[in-house]
Amino acid sequence: MSEITLKIGNEKHLAKQLETNSRYDAKQKQKIASAAKQFEGLLTSMMLKSMNKTTDGMFGSSEDGYGNDMFDTMFEQEIATKMSETKGLGVAEKLYKKITGEEMPAEIRNKLSERINPVKIHNTTAPSDSTKVQPSNSASERLNNYEKHIDEASNTYGIDKNIIKSIIMTESAANNKAVSGAKAKGLMQLIDSTASDMGVRNVFNPRENILGGTKYFAQMLRQYSGDVKLALAAYNAGPQNVEKYKGVPPFDETKNYINKVLGYLDHFKESEQ
């Protein structure tokens, strides 16, 4: 029997691998990794929601007890957070390697894991392009009436209370009875379908409205891997438009909305100093 030899063209294989890697610079690779991680985060969120929906929630439906849906969301957030602290589902790494031909560097993976953790949003600062705004005295007085509900929502969903305040001021100027032309209602301007999805029974009840609005924003924040601008865009224009335009939609209303929220965020953070 003649000897069987395996011929390997080392030069060709190496050249092909180097050519694949060299197509992307460091900045492009960072963007690829971020997009891959966002996809994994969205997939994780969809899986957890699907599991909870199939089992009517880990704690039962909202009809079985008030607050059960809130505990389900907390459970989803904790699971998603723990998964992001490790290698998650491994989907992001596989996508990154498929596109770049490289393993995802540990420093990039660790940085992305920090971004996707919704609890870390407590330290969020407004980008420099925000518009400085200041609430009126009457609006500030109204907002002070809801401080305990804002603190509860902040602690429950891991969202900086100043962001909650900023959304409330932008949406309704802290007017609990506000109703928009699109029939959005209350402090955080929830439409009926969103209010129902968030377990809000009385949209004009300040506590329920703030908890429901914060819960929805926390979901958007998790869906967009901690990107505050994208989460705000989704809150204002809907996640379908963020997906359609692959970023902040080119709507003046949405752009002004984001800048106004971030401007209020600047104000509230400065007030604490």
Residue 198: CB partners within 8 Å, gap ≥ 6?
A: 69, 190, 211, 212, 213, 215, 216
The answer to whether residue 97 scores a pLDDT higher than 70 is: yes
- If we measure between CA atoms, which residue out of 269, 161, 142, 267 comes closest to residue 214? 161
Residue range 76-89, pLDDT digits in tens: 555 555 554 455 56
Mean pLDDT of 227-237: 95
Count Cβ atoms below 10 Å from residue 89 Cβ, excluding itself. 15
Residue range 165-201, pLDDT digits in tens: 999 999 999 999 999 988 999 999 999 999 999 999 9
DSSP secondary structure string for all residues of 62-130: TTTSTTHHHHHHHHHHHHHHHHHHTTTTSHHHHHHHHHHSSPPPHHHHHHHHHHH-GGGGGG----TTP
Output the six-digit token pair for 61: 């439906």
Give pLDDT, residue 38. Answer: 67
Residue 42: band (very low, low, confident or very high) from pLDDT cuts 50, 70, 90: low
Residue 91: band (very low, low, confident or very high) from pLDDT cuts 50, 70, 90: confident
Output the six-digit token pair for 128: 């420099």
Mean pLDDT of 233-255: 95
Exposure letters 31-42 (e unless 16+ CB within 10 A, then b):
ebbbbbbbebbb
Write down the domain spans for the chain. 24-116, 137-272
40, 171, 270, 272: the active-site residue? 171
The answer to whether residue 142 scores a pLDDT higher than 90 is: yes
The answer to whether residue 163 scores a pLDDT higher than 80 is: yes
Angle (nearest 5°) at CA 245 between 126 and 119:
40
Q: Which helix (H) or strand (E) holds 13?
A: helix 10-21
Give pLDDT, residue 21. Answer: 47
pLDDT above 70 coverage of the chain, percent: 64
Interhelix angle 91-100/106-116, nearest 10 degrees: 130
- The fold for domain 137-272 equals Lysozyme (1.10.530)
Q: By the 8 A CB rule, do 104 and 92 touch?
A: yes
Helix, strand or coil, per DSSP, at residue 6: coil
Note if 171 is an active site residue: yes
